[in-house]
Amino acid sequence: MALITKLAINLWFETRAEEAANFYCSIFKNSSIGAISRYGKEGYEFHHMPEGSVMTIEFFIDGIRFIALNGGPYVKFNESISFVVNCLNEAELDYYWDKLTEGGDPEAQQCGWLKDKYGVSWQVTPDILSEWMTDPDKEKVSRVSQALFPMKKLDWKKLEDAYNGV
């Protein structure tokens, strides 16, 4: 019996869904590959995918269900959707940034945002950043914002110093 969740995130790839799913599972510790469906002869006139090639691959990261689809070249990723990786410390932030930027677009890096080698957008941030950005002290928020906006990869120490007025 298949594990079904109420919501799942569907990612449309041209032909590299299985490769991407394995890449993401290699980065995130609590992850796994689930069910794989393959294209048959049926519908070839619509999908133009070789029989037996991966149609969808299910994968899980920290209990979140993703479905990666090989849907052809018709839809491209853009920055209007991104995944946030909340990091517990600077070492974790460095790890996820380094892994997710590998082969990605350096021009798409800004304010902790990046685009990976598949064109998927991510935000790699300190888990405490939302607290810093919503602090009732407007001066603290202003200092953090001023430090944040020019950064590509977020510098935890500089953001913390800005928050603390150092």
User: What residues have CB less than 8 Å from 112, skipping those under 6 apart?
Assistant: 123, 124, 125, 129, 148, 151, 153, 154
pLDDT, mean of residues 50-75: 95
Asked, colleague to colleague, whether 9-70 and 82-164 share their fold, the answer is: no
Residue 5 is predicted with a pLDDT of: 74
User: What residues have CB less than 8 Å from 44, skipping those under 6 apart?
Assistant: 51
Q: Compute the Cα dihedral for 139, 142, 146, 147 and give only its sign.
A: positive
* CA–CA distance, 53 with 76 (Å, rounded to integer): 20
For the chain, what are the domain ranges?
9-70, 82-164
Q: What is the mean pLDDT of the chain?
A: 94
Q: Tens of pLDDT along 129-140? A: 999 999 999 999
* CA–CA distance, 77 with 144 (Å, rounded to integer): 29
Is-contact 49 38, C-beta < 8 A? no
What's the pTM?
0.90
Residue 43 is predicted with a pLDDT of: 87
Question: pLDDT-derived band of residue 47, with 50, 70 and 90 as boundaries?
Answer: confident
Class of domain 9-70: alpha beta
Provide the CATH number for the domain formed by 82-164 in this structure.
Answer: 3.10.180.10
